[in-house]
Structures are given as C-alpha cells and as structure tokens.
Amino acid sequence: MRSIGEMARDGGLSVSALRFYDRAGVLVPAWVDPVSGYRWYAPGQLAEARLLARLRRAGMPLADIRLVLAGWAGTDTDLVRGLLEAHLRRLERGLTDARGEFSTLRALLDHRENPMASPRTTTVRLSVPAPELAAALDAVRFAAGTDAELPMLGGILFDVEGGELQVVATDRYRLAVARARTTGQCGPRTQVVVPLPLADAMRALLTGHEPVQVTVDGDRVTLETGDRQAAGQSLGHEFPDYRRLVQLPAGRRAPIDTAAFRKALETGPVRARETPGEDGERHHLSVLRVTDNGSVTVCDDGDDHKDDVAVNREFLLHALAAGARDQLVLEMGAPTAPLAIRRPEDETTFSLLMPVRLED
C-alpha cells in the first residue's frame, strides 16, 4: 500500500490532485483510515495514477478521463482509442484557432510604435554611489532571464527618473527591483537595458566606496570608476512595464529570520512538480502557510489549506540570498498572486515570485 504522499511522488500527481480525483470518483483510494481520514492506495493503482497524470498533462476533460480509465483495463480498446483521437483533434483545432489569434495580435503589434526601436539621440550622465549600485545589482541579478526567445529579458533595466536609478530584472517567473541614488541626471525619464555580460562586468568594478559615473550615449552604456571602465551596447529591445507588474493587492505580511527560514526550506518537505521554466523539468516546490500567530511554516504534503502558497524552492532560496538581510518580510496574498520578499527597512528593494497552482 502506498500513502497519498508516496502515490503523488511515484505517480506524477500532486497530493491535492489525488484528493480532487478521489472526490470526483476517478481514482479512489483502496482504503481510507476511518480515524485519521488518510488515504492509502493499492499497488495496482500506481499504473492508473501514471496514466491519469499523462491524460491530465494532455489537457483531457475529466469526463473523458473517467471513460479512458474505465476502458483501459478491458480487452476492447476501441473506446479508448476513439477518445484519444477525439481529444487530439480538439487540441489541433484549438491550436489552429490560437495561431489565428496570434497572427492578429502580431499584426496589431506591427502597427504600434516601439520607443526603444527609435535611435537614441540624447546623452545622459549620472553619478551613483558604488556600494548602492553594487547592492542593487546583487539584489536583482538572480531574476534575469536566459531564454534566447525572449532577448529583452536577457538584461537588467536601468530606469533613471527623478534623481533615482531603479534596476530591474525578470525572467517571467521572478521579478526583482532595487534602487540607488543618483546625481547629475536631469531631463525626461531614461531607460536602457544593459546586457547581462555587461552588467556583470560593471559589478566587478564596484569594489570601492566612491561614486561611479554611468553614461548612456545613444545605444552605448559606460560605467567608469577611476581609470577603469566597462562599456558596451544596450539591448535593442523594450523592457516590460515593470511598474504595472508590481501593483499587487496587499497581502498577509510575516517577518522571518532569514537563516532559520532558509534551513526550514532546505530540510522541509517538498513536492516534485513540473513548474513554469525554460527547461520543462520537474522542480521542488515548497508550500508556505501563514499561521495564526503570524509566522510562516513550510507545510508537509498531506495538509493543504486554501490559502497555502506553493513556490519553486530554488527560486525562493535565491530571493532570500538576494535580500541580503538577517530579517526579511514575506508578503503572501491569494494562492495565485505573486509572493513578495521585502526588506523591512526598504520598500523599494524587493523580489516577486510567481506561485505554482496546486489544485486541478
């Protein structure tokens, strides 16, 4: 007999999915403990769970899944083949419809102006304290994208406005924002996307305590400190409007001791799931919950609550390191809202992590 956690691990389904399919009568446990209510599965049900996981990943409707499972063990496979073929045709029709919609969207985009595509004619020079710029780059570097199909995310945005420099990075699943003070900037808001190799070269020069000079001249970006400099071309792409992305409803705030919370993540329970990402591999999820006393716990995989938030554990560990504080604040909204990692004393430096949905 397998416990629900073991069945989830071996069958490729989450614990919450197994509960859902039990309630739906699709994959019912062989035995349920009458005292604890804990579910147990017979050895033969593992093959059904794996089949169910494949059908689920293919997006088959629940009514059809039920019939496929019912007919899978029989000798007459015509029904199963018919259901699979019918679903494949639905997917192909859906893909055709999606291609048509995307073609229309591309045509609309072609008629929109791209501000970053026009030649940059102004020259902007500003002075930034080296420790502040170094700390800002360290706070966002982990969130930068590496997807070749999204080159605009393969850099760090330098956004200068009102005497402040915001540095921003995102790979769609993580977003990090940090701030540094500037002097010497005047004129309209200026944005430039610094490629990651250039941003890393800039960071390597930020070892002193004196201000450094940052110059944007056309599409060329230069950082100078003393007799050393790092310079290169900016990315010729427009960065997403991050200010829209960080406008989130207020969530539950919970202060954490960073070292203790990191240990709880590293040693606590995880769930193996396919999560959004460039590699399509399975990753470890940590399920977080704010308790009644305001603390954050890492939940075991047999006890889901409706307000639990699941995130990629590796991403969360990176965000904690980038926070660079002994004390941080986690802000958790709805299970589908991004998780925010903030510094208690600085609301302008923070990270956002997209959650991973646990339910079907």
Residue 139: give its domain's CATH number.
Answer: 3.10.150.10
In a domain, 109, yes or no: no
Rounded to whole angstroms, the Cα distance separating 223 from 126 reads: 10
Position 148 in a domain: yes
Same domain, 229 and 126: yes
The total of other beta-carbon atoms located within 10 Å of residue 112's CB is 7
How many C-alpha atoms does 346 have within 13 Å on its Cβ side? 17
Read off the tokens for 318: 């990176």
| Whether 37 and 147 share a structural domain | no
Whether residue 56 is found in the same domain as residue 156: no
**Among the three residues 215, 243, 271, which one is the final residue of a domain in this structure?**
243
Do the domain assignments include residue 280? yes
Spatial CB neighbours of 202, under 8 Å, sequence gap ≥ 6: 133, 137, 194, 223, 230
Residue 360 in domain: no
pLDDT at 74: 74
User: Residue 359 domain-assigned?
Assistant: no
152 with 231, same domain? yes
Q: What is the pLDDT of residue 115?
A: 47
Q: Which of 261, 256, 215, 260 is nearest to 234 (CA)?
A: 215
Q: Which residue has the tokens 């199909």?
A: 149
Q: Is residue 84 located within the same domain as residue 140?
A: no
Residues 80 and 153 grouped into a single domain: no
What are phi and psi for residue 48, nearest 5 degrees? Answer: -65, -40
pLDDT for position 269 = 87
Task: Give phi and psi for 302, each to the nearest 5.
Answer: -120, 15
> Measured between alpha carbons, how far is residue 352 from residues 188, 220, 248, 277, 296 in Å?
28, 30, 10, 15, 17
Judgement on whether residues 168 and 262 belong to the same structural domain of the protein: no
User: 10-residue block means of pLDDT along the chain (360 residues)?
Assistant: 90 87 89 90 92 91 87 79 91 89 79 52 85 96 90 90 90 93 78 94 93 90 93 87 84 92 92 58 83 85 73 94 94 88 90 80
Is residue 342, in this structure, part of any structural domain at all?
yes
- Same domain assignment for residues 125 and 219: yes
Asked whether the beta carbons of 349 and 360 are under 8 A apart, the reply is no
115 inside domain: no
DSSP 135-167: HHHHHHGGG----TT-GGGSEEEEEEETTEEEE
For residues 177 and 156, give the distance between their C-alpha atoms in angstroms, rounded to a whole number: 10
Q: Are residues 136 and 230 in the same domain?
A: yes
The CATH number that applies at residue 58 is 1.10.1660.10
* Residues linked to residue 3 through DSSP beta bridges, in sequence order: 40
- Whether residues 274 and 170 share a domain: the answer is no
Given a contact cutoff of 8 angstroms between Cβ atoms, the answer to whether 252 and 245 are in contact is no
What's residue 280's pLDDT? 53
**Parent domain of 74:** 2-91
The DSSP line for 15-59 is HHHHHHHHHTTSS--SEE-TTT--EEE-TTHHHHHHHHHHHHHTT
Choose one of 225, 243, 261: the last residue of a domain.
243
| Exposure letters 48-68 (e unless 16+ CB within 10 A, then b) | bbebbbebbeeebeeebbbeb
Q: What is the per-residue pLDDT for 185?
A: 67
Distance CA 278, CA 148 (A): 10
Counting the structural domains of the chain, the total is 3
Residue 100 lies in a domain: no
Q: 243, 277, 294 — which closes off a domain?
A: 243
> Residues 84, 142: one domain?
no
pLDDT tens profile 87-114: 999 999 999 888 888 888 877 776 665 5
146: tokens are 């590496």
Task: Quote the radius of gyration of the chain (alpha carbons, Å).
Answer: 25
Distance separating alpha carbons of residues 183 and 162, to the nearest angstrom: 10
Instruction: Tell me how long the chain is.
Output: 360
294 and 349 in a single domain? The answer is yes
